[in-house]
Amino acid sequence: MIENLFIFSSDILNALFIAVVGALIAFLAGEILARLLENFLGKAFARFLANILRLAIAIWAVKIILDISGAAGIAVILITVLTGSFALGGERFASDILAGTKLFTTRPYTVGDYVSLAGHKGKVINIDIANTSLEGVRGDKIIIPNADVMDGTIINQSAVEGQLISILVPLPTGEDLEIAIKAILDELKDFSDLENPRFAPSVTSNEISFGYIKLEVRAFVREKIDYGPDKTRLMIQSVSALKKHGIALKN
């Protein structure tokens, strides 16, 4: 019985040694591959391929442990997996990894895009296997778990040219609506530098209340995030156009 215990202990030590060596090889190989591919594929995709290589080495190490150590190897693997699961956040970490893999395969956005993810807006500055990082409107860094990204709606503002902005202008019903709209459109004909006709400014109205018509003035701008200054400029030019034609606004 003592002899069997000694053999089992020896198998555990062998398994532990292989596990440590395998982890070291996986780490070094992943770092080397990431650095070699970073200039060609970008940091995010290089890290993704490095993690795939690490996973392959880990599977190879597990096979060696099972071939050499048998039951003792299984015990080591179970302990390592359980410990790693608690250390890495278990199910949550796995969800982020799976979501990150899907992001890399579908590529709904890339570094440099302006997006809205999980209720946050900003410029994508980094994508890794577990998280996506944004630079927010105020210059802050927003780190979003990839599982949260995939659970919500992804809006990629960089996928199309231009960003729609709009303002509301209350106009008394006694004023000439046709003249007011024409005056605003003439004033805004050079508002945007986007040449596509579908980006031309427009004026719509679908609400009348308390003696006033609410005009919605729409225009496109190139700025993707902070378009506050452009909305102010749109308001100033629209109001100026109405005043030039003697059209009164709501008091």
pLDDT band of 83, cuts 50, 70, 90: very low
Asked if pLDDT for residue 185 goes beyond 90, the answer is yes
Nearest in space to 165 (alpha carbons), one of 214, 239, 235: 235
Domain boundaries, the chain: 2-88, 107-158, 161-244
Asked if pLDDT for residue 125 goes beyond 80, the answer is yes
pLDDT tens for 200-229 read 899 998 878 778 888 999 998 887 666 578
Bridge pairing between strands 212-221 and 202-204: antiparallel
With a CB cutoff of 8 Å and minimum separation 6, the contacts of 168 are 214, 215, 216, 217
Radius of gyration of the chain (CA): 30
pLDDT tens for 135-171 read 987 888 999 988 889 888 998 988 777 788 899 998 8
Quote the pLDDT of residue 227. Answer: 59
Can you tell me the distance from the alpha carbon of 105 to that of 108, in angstroms, rounded to the nearest whole number?
9
Of 43-52, 78-87, 137-146, 190-199, the poorest mean pLDDT is in 78-87
With a CB cutoff of 8 Å and minimum separation 6, the contacts of 96 are 129, 130, 131, 145, 146, 147
Single-letter amino acid code for the residue at 68 = I
Q: State the average pLDDT over residues 180-208.
A: 86
| Domain 161-244, second-level architecture | 2-Layer Sandwich (3.30)
Does this chain's domain 107-158 share its CATH topology with 161-244?
Answer: no
**Cβ–Cβ < 8 Å for 53, 30:** yes
Asked if pLDDT for residue 104 goes beyond 90, the answer is no
Can you tell me the distance from the alpha carbon of 165 to that of 188, in angstroms, rounded to the nearest whole number?
13
**Cβ–Cβ < 8 Å for 77, 92:** no
Higher pLDDT pick, 232 / 227: 232
| pTM of the predicted structure, to 2 decimals | 0.51
| Domain 107-158, second-level architecture | Roll (2.30)
Can you tell me the distance from the alpha carbon of 132 to that of 118, in angstroms, rounded to the nearest whole number?
11
pLDDT band of 173, cuts 50, 70, 90: confident
Coil, helix or strand at residue 48: helix
Task: For residue 56, give the H/E element and its range.
Answer: helix 43-69
